[in-house]
Amino acid sequence: MSLRSHGAALAALAALASPLTPGACGVDDVDPPCRDQTCPPGQVCGADDACVSIAAPATLGDLGRHTSAALLSDGRMVVATYDSTHRDLVVMTDQVDSAATVQVVAGRVAEDGTIVDTDAGRWNDLVVDEDDVVHAVWFDGDGGTLRYGQRAASGGWTVEVVDGEGPSVRGTHASLAVRHGVVHAAYRDETARGLRYARRELDGTWATREVDGCAGEAGCPVEGGEDYGEYASITVIGQLPRVAFYDRARGDLKMATRAADGPWETTTLDGRDAASGADTGDVGRFVSLALTPERKPGLAYYDASQGALRYLLAGQAPLVVDDGVHYDEARGAWGSDPVGQHVQLRYDSNGRAVMLYLDAGNLAMKQAVVSGGQIVAVAAIDGFEAGGFIDFDFFGDDLLRGAYGPWIPGEAPRTRLARFLIPVSAR
């Protein structure tokens, strides 16, 4: 599509769909002519040689996949999600007195006056820092890169390429943490089938590195046989990052920790007997890492061998929170359903662990609460359709605000974006 030929329409769309407004382009609106390269990030030349924001599509497509959510200090929610129809990264921000604003942050670029559709926004993660600044990372599918974006107070985004500009495809399974202005990201190198870590200093410079997946297993690494880094989940304790991830080659849940003096150490958290090294099951997919109020790391993850949800708090033994087992009256015997995929973990101010996850047999979303090492509630969430990519945060101590991507009933695999505000289950 030629931008020039559709300039007026694009400008109108931009005004509707983006908080960004058309701005001056260059010193003079008439001479020299507007050039895309001279426009600010996220803008191209539109009608009348003026820079306009890259237009969002007239209608959004199927949202909900790769959804992440965070709350601003006033409780408003910011949601990043992937428009799988248009292959865009879409960010929605609640407004106090009106509908949420919608921004297409990535997924279309201008090249020589033409809007080019690109694939961007899968594997995104969104964080609101202590100063209410919104940060996000996502995978640029066309470039095979990890991108980072930061939203200015004006609403505009500055976007940087973090890693993957070479031949390697990097940036899937991205996870983001921001602490005192320093940005930490963990993500997967699809080419090397390994885990990487990136750190952005206060001056904006990035440093990236590979993270070793071996945790002292005999014969590790296996030449050409390693495959780890999926479901990376990062947090920061005392400015030192910790990354939980899944080692597919071994079916293990692992944690990489950076020591104060610089080196990283990787340990196996579950899936292998610590003494004998024997395989104890395929665990660690969908791992979600969160910190207790005392800043102890806790993890919720899926046990693929047992089809169960497991939970692990530092210093304690793994706990099977939900095994999906039920009595089948019709057969007169016991059965089970896989539960725990797409799990997300958060702690309230009292240290209660709340997990939201998929019941893939009964096609429901469930909530489990663990307090003091005891399972205090496991229940299906009324009115929630089955879906994935759930993310949420506490809205006060008794409410959960978040979003996820339920599959549209009867139209799967299509999804939609669902937002929710639900109470913490007390059962």
Partner 1 sequence: MSRAWTALGLGAALLMSLAGGCGEVPWGNGGLGDELPADAFDTEGLVFVLGAEDLQTASSKLDRVVSEAWADGVPLTGRAGVVDLEGHEISVEWHAMRVELGAVKLALDDEGITLSVGVRVPTSELRVEGAQTVACSPTVSIDDAQLSLHATLGSDKSGRVQAALSETPSLRGEELDVDWSGCHDEVSAPAFDALSLLLWDALADNAAEVLGPELIAALPGALGLDVALGVATTTAVDEIGAGLVRVSVEARSSSSGGAWRVVQGRLVVPFAVGLGAEAHPCVPAAELPEITALTAPEITPGPRGATLVSASAIRRGLATLWLSGALCGDHATAERSLTVATLGPGWAPLAALPRATPLTLSLWPRALPDISLDAAPGEGELLVSTGPMDVDVFGELDGASVRLFSLSIDADVAVTLTVSAQGLLSSQVRDLTLRAGETRAGLLAPPDAAIADAVVTPLVRALLDDRQLLQLPPRAGPTRAEPRGDYLAIPQ
List of residues contacting partner 1 (CB under 8 A): 65, 285-286, 305-308, 320, 323-325, 328, 331-338, 341-342, 358, 360-361, 363, 386, 388-389, 405, 407, 410-415
- Which CB atom, from 320 or from 375, has the smaller least distance to partner 1? 320
- Which CB atom, from 76 or from 416, has the smaller least distance to partner 1? 416
- Which CB atom, from 99 or from 333, has the smaller least distance to partner 1? 333
- Which CB atom, from 9 or from 325, has the smaller least distance to partner 1? 325
Minimum Å gap between C-beta 349 and partner 1 is 31
Q: How far apart are the C-alpha atoms of 426 and 31, rounded to whole Å?
A: 67
- Which CB atom, from 256 or from 360, has the smaller least distance to partner 1? 360
Q: How far apart are the C-alpha atoms of 301 and 38, rounded to whole Å?
A: 47
Minimum Å gap between C-beta 65 and partner 1 is 6
Q: How far apart are the C-alpha atoms of 392 and 414, rounded to whole Å?
A: 22
- Which CB atom, from 218 or from 333, has the smaller least distance to partner 1? 333
368 DSSP β-pair partners: 355, 378
Minimum Å gap between C-beta 384 and partner 1 is 14
Minimum Å gap between C-beta 227 and partner 1 is 15
- Which CB atom, from 336 or from 425, has the smaller least distance to partner 1? 336
Minimum Å gap between C-beta 131 and partner 1 is 33
Per the CB < 8 A criterion, the answer to whether 283 and 302 are in contact is yes
List the one residue out of 396, 394, 380, 386 whose CA is nearest residue 418.
Answer: 386
Sign of CA dihedral 42, 43, 44, 47: positive
Minimum Å gap between C-beta 406 and partner 1 is 10
Q: How is residue 415 annotated by DSSP?
A: B
State the number of CA atoms in the 13 A half-sphere of 290 facing the CB: 22
Minimum Å gap between C-beta 356 and partner 1 is 14
Q: How far apart are the C-alpha atoms of 103 and 55, rounded to whole Å?
A: 9
Surface-to-core class of residue 329, CB atoms within 10 Å of its CB (0-12 exposed, 13-18 middle, 19+ buried):
exposed
| 2, 15, 26, 43, 110 from 33: Cα distances, Å | 17, 22, 8, 15, 16
- Which CB atom, from 138 or from 286, has the smaller least distance to partner 1? 286
- The 3-class SS string of 233-302 reads EEEEECCEEEEEEEECCCCEEEEEEECCCCCEEEEEEECECCCCCCECCCEEEEEEEEECCCCCEEEEEE
Long-range residue pairs from 73-76, CB within 8 A, at least 24 positions apart, any chain? 73/128, 73/132, 75/395, 75/401
Minimum Å gap between C-beta 182 and partner 1 is 30
Minimum Å gap between C-beta 333 and partner 1 is 5
- Which CB atom, from 264 or from 357, has the smaller least distance to partner 1? 357
- Which CB atom, from 176 or from 304, has the smaller least distance to partner 1? 304
Q: How far apart are the C-alpha atoms of 95 and 132, rounded to whole Å?
A: 14
DSSP β-ladder status, 325-328 and 88-93: unpaired
Minimum Å gap between C-beta 321 and partner 1 is 12
Starting at the edge strand found earlier in the chain, the sheet holding 194-200 runs 170-179, 182-189, 194-200, 206-211
Minimum Å gap between C-beta 21 and partner 1 is 36
Give the DSSP H/E element, type plus range, for residue 9. Answer: helix 7-17
- Which CB atom, from 211 or from 339, has the smaller least distance to partner 1? 339
Q: How far apart are the C-alpha atoms of 331 and 318, rounded to whole Å?
A: 32
